[in-house]
Each structure stands twice: as structure tokens, then as C-alpha cells.
Structure 1
């Protein structure tokens, strides 16, 4: 599947869901703007990413879609495979499944035990292909694993078609490519902020509370109190050309596809318009 070098998230709101008509319009406009691939998130118990993509795949012609990510707590593994295979059968070469374990709170909200995330994910991936009756459609689709830590990335290399790390510098992309090898799909999530360096520093500050995140950055040689260096290395900001240049750094480091994760407001179509204005920088 040719995802193209750069794709975007469909604008996300955590306060309301855009209507199906607005989402169809937004997807068509992003397709017309030249983006080859659009990604969607999932809210456990609030929004089903695969149902959303069924609507959007049918509303567009050539646009490819990915889940970033489909959360394992939202459905049983055989159900996820069946749904993904149905989408792939209906829209060949237009769908990639990104899977992730999410956060302990998401499992707890459903009365489930998060456990060891790597072993939980291993079991989930193994059960995805368990026999069901009737069987799932025989339709191929890429599976990539949302992964930022070395153990989860190793699992991605072992059991899936690739990995989707996010919000880390190009040096991490290079490490991930070396771990995955040359033939796996590497999708990299790149945060984009409106404004300049100050907005980028604020974005970094909001992420440093995650323990694994700080550990990864220290291992790469960053000082966690140096927000200026972190912002320059990790967050795309400034002009469209500067944002495109940051995406190019990840591509040069081994990414196959860079997923732009821009800020969003509660005006879905206004956020789509912002992505349209950015598109020429990637032409």
C-alpha cells in the first residue's frame, strides 16, 4: 500500500463529534487538497474508528485511511480482524489498521486488567486470527502497532507489518528503522502547532509528565528541562515550509510515512481548511 510520504489526522474534538455530513465533506476536501492518506483516532466507548472509516471510505474515491489507533480495549480481537477485513475487501489497498494498547485508565473504565502491555498486546495479536464461524473475509490489509518503547517495537517487528511511534525526534525514527529492519512499514506521528517556538515549548511541557516519554528522551541525550531543544527537535511549528522540513527530517531518518497531528478546535471544517492551506508545502 502506498500511503504517500505525508498524511494527516482528520481533525479531532474531545468535546463533540462532527456530523457524518461534515466528516464526508472534510475527507473529500482533504482528498482534493492532495493528501494521500488520512488517519482517525478512537475514543473507547465514545467513537468507533472502523465505523467512521466505513463512512469515509465510501465517501471518497482514492483517499487511503488508517486508524491511529484502534484501541484493543474497544473490541475483541476476532471482531477487530473481521471488521478490518471487511473494510479491506470493500476498499482494496485503501485501509491500514493501526492497533494500540492505549492507557491503563481505558482498560479500567471497561473493567479490564491492563496487565503487562507488551504481553497483553502479544495475546491480542495472536487471537486476531483465531478461527470464527462464519469466517472473516479473506482480504489482506497492513497491521501496524502503536509503539514507542523498545519492547513494543520489537513485538511490532515480530508480529505485525510495522510500527507507529509518535512525538519523538528524528533520532528515534532512525533507531526504530534500524530495529524494524528495511521491509517493515514505519509511520511516524509528528505534532504540529500553530505559532512559533513558544507554542512548541508548551506542547512539549504537556507531554513530559508521561514517564516513558521522559525516559526515551533522556536515552536519546536530551535534558528534560531544555524545552527549547526539545521543541526544536520534536514539534513542527512556524511556516508551512518549516513544518514540511521537519517532516522531511523523519523521512530522511527512515520513516515511510509521516502523520501530521495538528491542533484542533471545535470548528471541524475550519480545522480542515487549515490543513488545506498547509497542503501545498508538501506538493
Structure 2
């Protein structure tokens, strides 16, 4: 898959922003989102990753507002959007903005999808349908956590976009993927130097994910214990999945993921007390500066 992944690696760049707010369908926010996308491009981010079960329609406003920025779904649920609609959306964006849309796919979670059955087999069938509809493997990526889905990311896609993972998971994923495919994990960032306050912010955000077995099972595979998953997560768990602290500490955490084999990092800024759909533009500027 390395031949098809190489152009995508170049397109997405080294760093991107992961945001639920950028996928908002509120017409009143369209101007704000377009302005934010244009600034992300100016700041040097290579990609905007749209959180939640986003689709091509959510990506269109950002692509229209920019000229170079790649836009990816992170992560489109295969249960919410059928393959035919996904293929049609991809074709439309490819015609209007060639090479800039990345179709990120995932199986979501049993608690969030009533039809959740045999997720791996369903994902394979979905990829078969995308193949039949002409969506190239080199322009789609999978939200892979376990070994089987990572292998599928290697064999049937351009790579993987794992969510809520550690540097150790990144190293394991790179070993399975090999050198060619794109590996673009998401990493949460809290710009707060106070350990207690930063970890409180992290735990408040992490709590809902610790109710989802796909994530907790992955943590257990990585050597965390049931105790690490209690009360919003142990310090060990929080420190493994968040980058927090001053600029130097955050840079070191970013470098840890890159050294483990990440080609690209999707950076999600988490701000204490902010709504999940807020656009933390001031924080995006600071992150861009500390990574420059």
C-alpha cells in the first residue's frame, strides 16, 4: 500500500487539528468555520480532521474556504453513512477539490449504533462497496485500534487514524503497518502547566470514552489495569493519552509519538470548561507556534 499512501502522507503534512466544532452544521456558524479553516491553513497545519461521525458534506465548507488544507473525516461511522452515499460524497469533493479530501472510516461503538453487529466483517463489506464505486484505497483511512483492523488499514486503505491511543500503541501500529502506510494518531493537548488542574481537565473530557469498551479493551491490551480506568483515569493513563504542561513538555510528548512511528499527529486541544463544539483558535495558534 506504500505507493498509494505516499501522496497522502505528503498531502496531510506533519500536523493537523482534530475538532468536533469544525463539523458543525449550524448555518449561523458557517462563516466562523470558514474563517477558522483559513487561519489553520495560514498557521501551517496540513489537515483539519472533523470529529464525530462526519461526512463529505461537513468537509465541503472547509475545502471551499481554503486552497491547500486537506480535510478528513475522523471518524465517519459505517453504520450512519452507507457506502454508496459515501462514494457519491467523495466523488463530488474530488471533482471540486482534487486530492484534498480524506475519507476516514470507523465502526463506532455498540452503545452508539443499534445495528452494531460483526463490526470487522461489516467494515470489510463497506470497503468492498467503496472499491466497486471507485473510491481509491489511497484516499481512505481507518480508525484502527486492534491488530486485525490495523492489518486491514495496511491492505485495504492508505493507513490508519487511531483515536485515543498512546505512543506505545503507535509503535505497535507502525510495526503492523510497515513503513509505507500513513499512521496518523490523534493526540489530546491541554495547555496548562498545573498538574492537578491539567489532569482534571483531561479527566473531565476522558470520562465518556472510558464507558466505551473499544477504547478500554485497547488500554487493557496495552498493559493498563482496571484500576487505571476508574474515576476518570489514573495519572498514568491520563499522562499517556494527553499532552499537557508547558511548551517544552508538550513538544516532548509530540516528539515521543513521532519517534514511535507516527507520520502525522491530529492534535485535539481540550480547554477546561469549553463546550465540545467550541473552536479554540487562540490555543491552535499557540500550538502552531510551539511546533514551528
Q: Same fold per TM (> 0.5)?
A: yes
Correspondence for 1:82: 88
**Alignment partner for residue 273 of structure 1, among 274, 282, 286?**
282
Q: 1:12 and 2:21 equivalent?
A: yes
Alignment length (residue pairs): 270
**1:51 deviation in Å?**
1.2
Conservation of the 8 A alpha-carbon contact between 2:77 and 2:105: yes
**CA deviation profile, 1:118-168 (whole Å, cap 9, x unmatched):** 01111111011225xxxx6x8785110111122222222221111111212
SS at match of 2:185: strand
* Distance in 2 between residues matched to 1:88 and 1:169, nearest whole Å: 33
Render the CA deviation track for 1:45-92: whole Å, top value 9, x for unaligned.
xxx531121121111121111111122223221221221132123222
Task: Report the 3-state secondary structure (helix = DSSP H, G, I; strand = E; otherwise coil) of the residue aligned with 1:104.
Answer: coil
What is the alpha-carbon root mean square deviation over aligned residues? 2.6
Matches within 5 A, 1:116-155: 116-131=118-133, 142-155=139-152
TM-score by length of 1: 0.85
More deviation, 14-23/170-179:
14-23
**Shift in alpha-carbon separation, 1:105–1:221, aligned structure 2, 3 A:** closer
Larger deviation, residues 98-107 vs 54-63: 98-107
- The structural deviation recorded for 1:233 is 1.8
What TM-score do you get using the length of structure 2 for normalisation?
Answer: 0.82
**Is the CA contact 1:149–1:212 (under 8 Å) kept in the aligned structure 2?**
no
Cα distance 1:15–1:143, how it changes in 2: closer, same or farther (>3 A)?
Answer: closer
Q: What secondary structure, in the 3-state scheme, does the structure 2 residue paired with 1:214 have? A: helix
Pick from 159, 164, 175: which aligns with 1:162? Answer: 159
- Cα gap change, 1:206 to 1:225, in 2 (>3 Å): farther
Structure 1, unaligned stretches of length 5 or more? none
- 2:33 is matched with which residue? 23
1:227-242 to structure 2, matched below 5 A, reads 227-242=234-249
1:15 to partner: Cα distance: 9.5
